[in-house]
Structure 1
Amino acid sequence: MKYRRLGKTNLHVSVVGIGTWQYGGEWGKDFTQEEVDQILDKAQETGINFIDTAECYGDHLSERFIGDYLSRRKREDWIVATKFGHHFHGYLERSRHWSPDEVLQQLDDSLKSLNTEYIDLYQAHSCSDEEFNNDELWTMLDKQVQAGKIRHLGVSLKTNNESYQTERATEYNVKALQVVYNRLDKAPEATIFPSAEKQDLGILARVPLASGFLSGKYKPGASFGKNDVRSRNEDAEIQQTLRLVEEIAKTEVPESVPMAAWALAWCLQHPAVTTVIPGCKNPDQVVANAKAADLVSTDHPQNI
């Protein structure tokens, strides 16, 4: 495993992390605590030390799985990121909650769910510019940093067009951005990455396997169940994506390299990117994803 400094923080995160939206039950599978334990134990074996979750992956369900795990392990071995701004109300149903009092309650609920006294990276989750541009909210969050409940603040951008929030990140003491970035979506390279590099912000690349399409598991003709978030897309769009991925596999991926590892390493070669956070449904996927670190050059500005 390789490690990189997360922006202006003192956190050294593994270049491959663990995304945990799946644990909330919206990816066609319900997890047990034992399954989560096995995934995270395997992650630690491979050198992974970074977990990303959110209050609305289930009603703090993903956080509770992680918290139960952390209660039986060394908390200091892990860098834990979570998010705020929503309440979960069922499959793909959320309500928005952005007042300082509501966010403070979310923070306390997340700390309780995660069985921890502090959150390493606390991220505004897909906020609008109006929700972001709230001095009272950021003043409250800064007080929680001073109180030790939060180590660092971040923003998980809703889209790759959030130039307003990106440009003002340092003004609000934000030290990391989370963006959608993968071989099928290079949009952050245009404006977000240059601004992040200028401000020395960490970049968390979410959906690095394009919701599993770049994992190499799915071929044209594949379909997804009704309780899988990928089923939101029209079948014609899904099939078009699968055909494009098939072409990429033939023309860009070396024959001896698994496509998932190649796709993650593709993200990590950009000098702005600190870590990728693919989801994992089992320990074997953890091992496969961790192999991306072997394909990453050590010549990177954030490498430790």
Structure 2
Amino acid sequence: MKYRKLGITNLDVSVVGIGTWQFGGEWGHDFTQPEVDAILNQAKAEGINLIDTAECYGDHLSEQFIGSYLTRHNRGDWIIATKFGHHFHSKFERTRHWNPDEVLKQLDQSLRALKTEYIDVYQAHSCTDEEFNNDDLWTMLDKQKQAGKIRHLAISLAGNQDSYQTEKASEVGAEAIQVVYNRLDRAPEESIFPSAIQQNLGVLARVPLASGYLSGKYKPGTTFQASDVRSRHDEEEVNRQLRIVEEIGRHEVPDGVDMATWALAWCLKHNAVTTVIPGCKNPEQVSANAKAASLDLVSDQHPQSVK
């Protein structure tokens, strides 16, 4: 495994992390604690130290799975990133909560679910610009940093084209951003990444496998069960993307290299990206994802520091 400094923080994060939306039950499978334990044990064995979760992956359900694991393992081995701003009601149904008092309540609920005294990276979760422009909110969060509940603030961007919140990140005390970025969706390269580089913000690339389409496992015409969030994607657009994936597999992925492993490494070669946070359903996928760190595309320094 390779590690990079997350922006100006003191956190050395593995270049491959663990995304945990799937633990909340919206990716076609209801996880059990032993399954989560097996995934996180394999992550530890691979040298992965970053776990990304959220308040609304289930009603703090993903956090609870992680918290149970942490009570039986060394909390200091892990960098935990979670989010705020939403409340889960049922699968694919959430409400938005951005009042400072509501967010403080969410923070305390996340700390209880994760069974930890602090969150390493606390991220505004897909907020609108109106929700973002709230001095009282950021003042409250800064006070929670001073109290030791939060180590670093970040912004998980809703979109990947509008750079407004990225440009304002340093002003509100955020030291990292999270954004959708993958071989099929390169929009952040236009304005978000240049702003992140200018401010030395850490960048967590989410959906690096394009919702699994870049795994190479799916062909045009694939359908997903109703409990899988991908069943809500536009069928015509999915088939268009899967046809592009077939072309990528033929022309860009080196012989003998797993497409998913290559796709993660492809993200990591950009000079703005610190780490990728793919989801995974089993320990075997964790190992396949971790192999991206060993490909020649990935340096053992943050690309921003490589001249």
Corresponding residue SS for 2:116: coil
In structure 2, list runs of 5 or more residues that go unmatched: none
Structure 1 residues 50, 302: CA separation in 2 closer, same or farther (over 3 Å shift)? Answer: farther
| Counterpart mapping for 1:287-302 below 5 A | 287-295=287-295, 296-298=298-300, 300-301=302-303
Instruction: Give the 3-state SS of the residue equivalent to 1:224 in structure 2.
Output: coil
C-alpha root-mean-square deviation of aligned residues, in Å? 1.1
Is contact 1:125-1:158 (8 Å) kept? yes
Query: Which residue matches 1:106?
Result: 106
Q: Which amino acid aligns with 1:11?
A: L
Number of the residue aligned with 2:129: 129
Q: Point out the more displaced range, 235-244 or 123-132.
A: 235-244
1:69 and 2:69 correspond: yes
Q: How does 1:214-229 map to 2 (within 5 A)?
A: 214-229=214-229
Task: Look up the equivalent residue of 2:90 and give its one-letter code.
Answer: G
Q: Any conservation in 1 of the 2:270–2:303 contact (CA below 8 Å)? A: no
Q: Aligned partners of 2:12, 2:192: CA distance in 1, in Å?
A: 22
Question: Which position in structure 2 is the counterpart of 1:48?
Answer: 48
Deviation per residue, 1:188-233 (Å, 9 max, x gap)? 0000000000000000000000000001111222211111111112
Counterpart of 1:125, as a letter, is H
* 1:107-256 correspondence runs (5 A): 107-256=107-256
Gap change, CA 1:8 and 1:241, over 3 Å in 2? same
Q: What is the identity percentage for the equivalent residue pairs of Structure 1 and Structure 2?
A: 72
Secondary structure of the residue that 2:303 maps to in structure 1?
coil
- Structure 1 residue 68 displacement after superposition: 0.2
Paired with 1:132 and 1:234, the residues of 2 have a C-alpha distance of: 29
Q: Distance in 2 between matches of 1:137 and 1:196?
A: 22
2:38 aligned residue: 38
Residue 104 of structure 1 aligns to a residue whose secondary structure is: helix
Show the counterpart of 2:273.
273
Read off the aligned partner of 1:17 and give its amino acid letter. G
The alpha carbon displacement at 1:34 in A equals 0.1
Q: What is the CA–CA distance in structure 2 between the aligned matches of 1:143 and 1:270, rounded to whole Å?
A: 34
2:28 counterpart residue number:
28
Cα distance in 2, alignment partners of residues 275 and 297 from structure 1: 12
- Over residues 22-46 of structure 1, what are the superposed CA-to-partner deviations in whole Å (9 max), with x where a residue is unaligned? 0000000000000000000000000
Cα distance in structure 2, aligned partners of 1:299 and 1:138 = 31
Give the conservation status (yes or no) of the 8 Å contact 1:2–1:303: no
Task: State the 1:162 CA deviation.
Answer: 3.0
- For 1:119, give the aligned amino acid: I
Which one is further off, 239-248 or 130-139? 239-248
**Counterpart amino acid of 1:134?**
N
Q: Per-residue CA shift, 1:124-176, capped at 9, x if unaligned?
A: 00000010000000000000000000000000000012321111100111000
Moved more, 155-164 or 265-274: 155-164
Distance 2:169 2:162 in 1: 11
Q: Cα–Cα, structure 1 residues 14 and 302, in superposed 2: closer, same or farther, change >3 Å?
A: farther
The separation in 2 between residues aligned to 1:207 and 1:141, in whole angstroms, is 27
What residue identity is the alignment partner of 1:231?
S
TM-score normalised over the length of structure 2 = 0.97
Cα distance between partner residues in 1 of 2:89 and 2:129: 24
* Deviation of 1:300 (Å): 4.0
CA distance in 2, matches of 1:196, 1:156: 13
